[in-house]
Structure 1
Amino acid sequence: MTPRLSIILLLCAGLAGCGTVQRLNPFSTWQPETPLPYGANLNGDRRSPEFTVSVATRGAPIEAWRESARFPATRHCLRRFGSSVIDWRTDGGPEDWVVRYDSDGTAVVSGRCAAR
């Protein structure tokens, strides 16, 4: 095998591995550095940019649990659509999220992953 062919094969193998290191990294858990104060679950189709986030707020105001909802939504948008930009359903300003409360007091907010 010629040195030139070896270099080309090495470059091709290196490029083929781009992006897989992060997915295969056992130390990358996609978790926040500090635990979030409220449990949140993201609901939505993996292929759809539309989603809802349910947060067990225990009666707390939105200022207390907003980041607990934002984290799984940002993770979803980054992993599936390559951008952390989210268009939250709002009522007025960007921080005036529309919140629906279930019968058990769980807060539900919705958003859409914005295109890159």
Structure 2
Amino acid sequence: MPRLTTADFAKMGLLLVLVAMLAGCGLGKGVRREQAQTFDGQTFRGTAKPVGDDRTQFVASVSQPGKSIDGAIKAAAYQGTKYCIRTYGTSDIDWSVGPDTPKDQLTITSDALMLTGQCRDR
């Protein structure tokens, strides 16, 4: 059986240090989660999806609007803006029902608030 030398122990120690450093950097943890945005002190789960085949038109929605209606409106507008930037590279939106719509005219259910708009293509 071969004997381990001091150099072999040094190499193993260095390897362990490198593995520990990489683990501390988040490598090996998979995809990094996006940091949660807060609106009016609350976090909202949200999404924006195209309406039919026309990808310029979208519906942005967030769940649990009862936590803060003002926060939910901002969060849904944020989702719409992210959608347009990701899809068309611009944050220009023509809102049909948007953040400036009076609250009594918004589409709000017990578990979702929805805004609708159209991305302005450059």
TM-score interval, normalised by the smaller of the two chains: 0.5 to 0.7
Number of paired residues?
85
User: Which one of the candidate residues 92, 112, 115 is aligned to 1:106?
Assistant: 112
1:69 pairs with 2:76: yes
User: Which one of the candidate residues 92, 95, 100 is aligned to 1:95?
Assistant: 100
Name stretches of at least 5 consecutive residues in structure 2 with no aligned partner. Answer: 1-30
Matches within 5 A, 1:22-37: 31=34, 34-36=36-38, 37=43
Instruction: Pick the structure with more strand per residue.
Output: 2
TM-score (norm 1): 0.56
Q: CA RMSD in A?
A: 2.9
Determine the structure 2 residue equivalent to 1:80: 87
Where 2:64 maps in the other structure, the secondary structure is coil
In structure 1, distance between residues paired with 2:79 and 2:97: 18
**Cα offset, 1:34, TM superposition:** 4.6
Contact 2:93 2:117 in 1 (8 A): yes
TM-score (norm 2): 0.53
Q: Which runs of 4+ in 1 moved over 6 A?
A: none
Name stretches of at least 5 consecutive residues in structure 1 with no aligned partner. Answer: 1-25
Alignment identity in percent?
Answer: 21
Structure exhibiting the larger radius of gyration computed from Cα positions: 2
